[in-house]
Structure 1
Amino acid sequence: MYIVIAGGGKIGYYLIKTLQPYKHRITVIEPQRELCEKIANQLNISVVNGDGTSIEHLTESELGKADIFIAVTGRDEENLIACQLAKRKFGVNRTIARVNNPKNITVFEKLGVDIAVSSTSIIADLIEQEVDYSGVRTLMKLKGGKITLSELVITPESGVINKKLKDLNIPKDFILISVIRDDAVIIPNGDTMLSEGDYIIAASSYTEQQELKEFFLG
């Protein structure tokens, strides 16, 4: 796989080191000559001393042959422009951009960037996944955070204990994926009866996660 990276700072440098063991062909575009020399000497890859938003320098990197373009400069606007050029001018199938301001993630995705990555958002999501909000824990977010996979533990106070799923009138926007009881994973159907201590894995929209909690836990 051929990967072009715009930005040879700390993130770009360690990204290259991480990717190298997988035997990818990598080229980096970096405006600071001293960083270019460091990367070329230490990592032994192709380096273009230039601007990732310049068609001339993108052409020099043979971007038209790339499978993936990754923009990890310290400026969101440069990463967005570079990804748009890679996609529209050079026909790169997959673009990934570093986003310093998490509020820009939606904008990047609407403007054609395939994956917008914010370290701030990643850390916040990891923290949220580890926090149990009164019996509900977020396991994963999908579709840009619009869909949430949640883990719920049926408590003694729950109104669903000893009731079959077909009798519960579960809202249509909730999808019950599995029930974990002791060491067994149960694929639920209408006759599945919930018990105290069951772990439920369910999907819902992020905005309805609270309603999901209220339905199963009260």
Structure 2
Amino acid sequence: MRVAIAGAGAVGRSIAQELLENGHEVLLIDKNPRSIKVEAVPRAEWLLADACEIASLDDAGLERCHVVVAASGDDKVNLVVSLLAKTEYGVPRVVARINHPKNEWLFNESWGVDVAVSTPRLLSALVEEAVSVGDLVRLMTFRQGEANLVELTLPEDAPLAGQLVGSVTWPRDTALVAILREGRVLVPSPDDTLEAGDELMFVASQDVEDELGDLLSAH
């Protein structure tokens, strides 16, 4: 998979390193010469250019990219890059970084954003996830599909503890995508048994979250 990352700061370089280790092709784009640190991520391609300009994105060959990540520290730049990637180059997947929570409402399909990642919101969600048992915690929003990645740690007295995954009638537009148990990641099958203490990861539409929380909670 070919991925272009607009913004070669610490965040962009870290994303690039992870993707390269997972076998993907990565292009880093930044207009600031001080951000072009080839020695930091030597296996990536580098382009000194303004990612908000069509000519730069033509040079980057954005039409050949499967994913674009708008990872700069400027929300205006990330929105423009997202919009151009989606509307001008038809990039299938656009992921954008939100730097300021007040701008979160802008990062949606109207601006070409498929997945918006808000660092403050994500940190807040992870804190909740660490201390919450029996409460549904929203970790991430997938804007285009109006679906969320949510997590719940199954409490000891949960009614579903001991039941088979396949025997549960989940709410509509809900998918159990992973079970975290004793340091392992399990891909759930219908024959797996839910256990107290399991961290359950779901992708679910926003309007069924309350129903899902009620089903999983002990109350």
**Could you state the TM-score of these two structures normalised by the residue count of structure 1?**
0.67
Question: 2:33 matched to which residue of 1?
Answer: 33
Question: 1:74 matched to which residue of 2?
Answer: 73
Q: Which amino acid aligns with 1:82?
A: V
Structure 2 distance, partners of 1:24, 1:147, is: 24
Structure 1: 4+ residue segments shifted above 6 A:
198-204
Say which SS state the counterpart of residue 43 (structure 1) adopts.
Answer: coil
Identical positions, percent: 24
How far has the Cα of 1:40 moved from its partner? 5.8
Cα–Cα, structure 1 residues 188 and 87, in superposed 2: closer, same or farther, change >3 Å?
A: same
Cα–Cα, structure 1 residues 98 and 56, in superposed 2: closer, same or farther, change >3 Å?
A: same
Q: Which amino acid aligns with 1:10?
A: A
Cα–Cα, structure 1 residues 54 and 216, in superposed 2: closer, same or farther, change >3 Å?
A: same
Structure 1 distance, partners of 2:166, 2:40, is: 55
Question: 1:10 matched to which residue of 2?
Answer: 10
How far has the Cα of 1:110 moved from its partner? 3.7
8 Å contact from structure 1 (residues 147, 206) kept in 2: no
Unaligned runs of 5+ in 2: 170-195
8 Å contact from structure 2 (residues 2, 64) kept in 1: yes
Structure 1 distance, partners of 2:51, 2:28, is: 9
Structure 2 distance, partners of 1:189, 1:120, is: 34
Question: 1:89 matched to which residue of 2?
Answer: 88
Question: 2:134 matched to which residue of 1?
Answer: 136
Structure 2 distance, partners of 1:199, 1:11, is: 33
Cα–Cα, structure 1 residues 4 and 151, in superposed 2: closer, same or farther, change >3 Å?
A: closer
Name which of 158, 161, 173 aligns with 1:180: 161
Residue pairs, 1:1-218, within 5 angstroms: 1-36=1-36, 38-39=37-38, 42-111=41-110, 112-132=112-132, 136-138=134-136, 150-151=152-153, 153=155, 179-181=160-162, 185=164, 188=167, 205-206=208-209, 212=214, 217=219
Unaligned runs of 5+ in 1: 161-178, 191-197
Structure 2 distance, partners of 1:147, 1:21, is: 24
CA distances 1:117-173 after superposition (whole Å, capped 9, x unpaired):
1121111111112223xx632255575576855456476xx9x9xxxxxxxxxxxxx
Structure 1 distance, partners of 2:97, 2:148, is: 20
Q: Which amino acid aligns with 2:135?
A: R
8 Å contact from structure 2 (residues 154, 161) kept in 1: no
Q: Which amino acid aligns with 2:78?
A: N
**Could you state the TM-score of these two structures normalised by the residue count of structure 2?**
0.67
8 Å contact from structure 1 (residues 84, 113) kept in 2: yes
Aligned residues: 183
8 Å contact from structure 1 (residues 105, 117) kept in 2: no
Q: Which has the larger radius of gyration?
A: 1
Structure 1 distance, partners of 2:77, 2:38, is: 21
Say which SS state the counterpart of residue 39 (structure 1) adopts.
Answer: coil
8 Å contact from structure 2 (residues 3, 68) kept in 1: yes
8 Å contact from structure 1 (residues 40, 46) kept in 2: no
Q: Which amino acid aligns with 2:29?
A: I
Cα RMSD (Å)? 3.6
Cα–Cα, structure 1 residues 216 and 43, in superposed 2: closer, same or farther, change >3 Å?
A: same
